[in-house]
Structure 1
């Protein structure tokens, strides 16, 4: 923390006081790169677990698809309510964003070695719940720091760069897990141990190299008013945070994210379907996420920049549309490496067009003083919806089969995309190239309209 804060203070002292010239700030600030490095390291740790978890619980522990659906739902949704708390606690200026994010990263790091002791469904569920609580705490403050550090017209690109670095970790994680499984006698335990060490390194990088205060945007400058020396706004109350849903733009964005999340099959289930329907050998299963991560890594930055130009909401919808041909390929009689690679490429394109793009769109729909809470509200709606989807998909697979469950999900996703397109078409604030300061509903307290 000392290294990051002292470097940030030195940079601020050399800049002209109150300078807001656009040319003085890079499109992708150093804060974004530092947070990207933390996410890269942490994602190596997380994806090591994610890569082996489906086979571990289904094969090694003998859980049914319904039991795995419960675990996967926990993995995606149990931290949703914690995300609301994290976003609210982080708002208010000062070092709150970094402190709350650090607690979240630390909690997830502590959970990794606990998987060595968890053997039954209740124990694994508890560990995953704590791990996802850590993710819930850190996600909104981290995205708020990225938003505050970046000029509004460059947020799509900045989130694209961050997500690309994050995905580089997702690309490396399964490779490390694959290598550990190859060389270790107790493969799964070795994966959990190495994952814990890598997670601890991520926390250390956060403490040492991420500035406590983003260097480019205060609540005033982020909305185009005031200067960098403007005092921070008072810390928002819980009522202020929840009242953000009264804003039409944010309410529609949250509703669409939840609706589409409710019909999006989780990664783990898609990989299990690929392994079973397209004949992927079980020994290569940990490598399946690499295809998704590679496509995500290649497309995150260009699609983020494209979103800044053509519209973030539009690209968000297009990303979900990319899942439909992927589902169709899994349901088709096609087999072989080409079909697997195509599905994984479409899956990666989906994430590149939706993950960081949704965060950038959210940042444009709320005032800077509420960025943490705004990101948390949208993320919570999406996470809870994916939690319900995992439970429903696991139950459908248990009672019918995986093919029938995926067919129903594909039809539901197509219908949800049509509804979301209509909702977002009526959104009354822009989502490219500038903030939402022209919307009177989105003017922060104390800022002139």
Structure 2
């Protein structure tokens, strides 16, 4: 089958140090997440409360925002593996997403135009995510993958923490000036592309005679361990509520002033930032699968709080559990899947997994938006 063997054993005398490439990719993700989370934080406010979109319209757009990446992940992952240009493909993705921030200025109040711009932005994310994660796995010692992804996701989450804060400060200083938020978001994204170009090193080591094709990439699904990872991730992804809906539910339940919606992701990001490295290191010791499932139990706990809690207990409980969910699952899933895929198909394999997961989450967003609209919750 296509399961990786011990081809990449840990380096002799490995210290478990985090590779410079991982840190550079973390810096790129930090800057990019400042940019993307500035937009994500205000998107529910901008679309539902500003432009008057219905929850169903927001659900469809959120599904596009999440799910369009599936259209390019596999193709982008295959291209990165086949051409051995993981850095180039990732850089193209980061560049497209940066341009998408300026596109938001031209979309106006049109749901169609907004959907097209968001689709373009997520196309960039679809292109960059698998090559980036493949570079992390190929730059790290296999025994320390959980910690490596934890460090990367911690840096990523610094950006996720700062993004909503920057957006809030801009809107507090310049009320309703969403155009300013979009321009500043573009500047951070462009800086991230520059850091990628200057400091990230590509990883090009295809073995002679190894075929890299879409057929061999999809052939990974014939291997039971990798197929099981994909099926579980997709199934749980379908049960995962989009972040935007979670924050809208908190706003509705607690009657939070709309000006503070952009601050709600800070709670999730703060917990994620503090827990990402410890949870990644713990996953290396106690089992990455166990940690992944524990994360979804934390998310279930957050959902259950809406039925039985109120006030500060609901707010703090949901945000803490939501942050723990990401700390226990995001990088950990890539650490689970990485060793199951051979080096020459690393990007393609991770892209397949991520594609299934985002399609499941996109379906969940559309379904929940429709239920919210039809039942007038």
Q: TM-score category by the smaller chain?
A: over 0.9
Displacement after TM superposition at 1:186 (Å) = 4.8
Larger radius of gyration: 1
Distance 1:197 1:186 in 2: 19
Out of 287, 298, 310, the position equivalent to 2:286 is 310
Matches within 5 A, 1:113-192: 113-119=102-108, 120-184=110-174, 186-192=176-182
- 1:441 aligned residue: none
Q: Which has the higher contact order (CA 8 A, sep 6+)?
A: 2
TM-score, scaled to structure 1:
0.80
- 1:381 aligned residue: 356
| Cα pair 2:10 2:142 within 8 Å, conserved | no
Displacement after TM superposition at 1:366 (Å) = 1.1
Tell me the matched-pair count: 369
TM-score, scaled to structure 2:
0.94
Out of 46, 53, 63, the position equivalent to 2:43 is 53
Q: Determine if the alignment matches structure 1 residue 97 to structure 2 residue 73.
A: no
Out of 281, 303, 320, the position equivalent to 1:345 is 320
Matches within 5 A, 1:222-371: 234=210, 236-332=212-308, 334-371=309-346
Displacement after TM superposition at 1:359 (Å) = 0.5
Displacement after TM superposition at 1:235 (Å) = 5.2
| Cα pair 1:316 1:353 within 8 Å, conserved | yes
Out of 81, 87, 92, the position equivalent to 2:71 is 81
Distance 1:354 1:326 in 2: 15
Aligned-residue RMSD, C-alpha = 1.7
- 1:62 aligned residue: 52
Q: Determine if the alignment matches structure 1 residue 390 to structure 2 residue 339.
A: no
Out of 192, 195, 208, the position equivalent to 1:205 is 195
Out of 6, 21, 26, the position equivalent to 1:36 is 26
* Secondary structure of the structure 2 residue equivalent to 1:364: helix
Distance 1:330 1:280 in 2: 15
Distance 1:235 1:146 in 2: 22
Distance 1:181 1:303 in 2: 34
- 1:227 aligned residue: none
Distance 1:71 1:45 in 2: 19
Displacement after TM superposition at 1:233 (Å) = 5.9
Q: Deviations over 1:92-150 (max 9, x none)?
A: 474x1100000000000011011011121000000000000000000000000000001
| Cα pair 2:10 2:143 within 8 Å, conserved | no
Of Structure 1 and Structure 2, which has the larger fraction of its residues in helix? Answer: 2
List alignment gaps of at least 5 residues for structure 2: 1-8
- 2:3 aligned residue: none
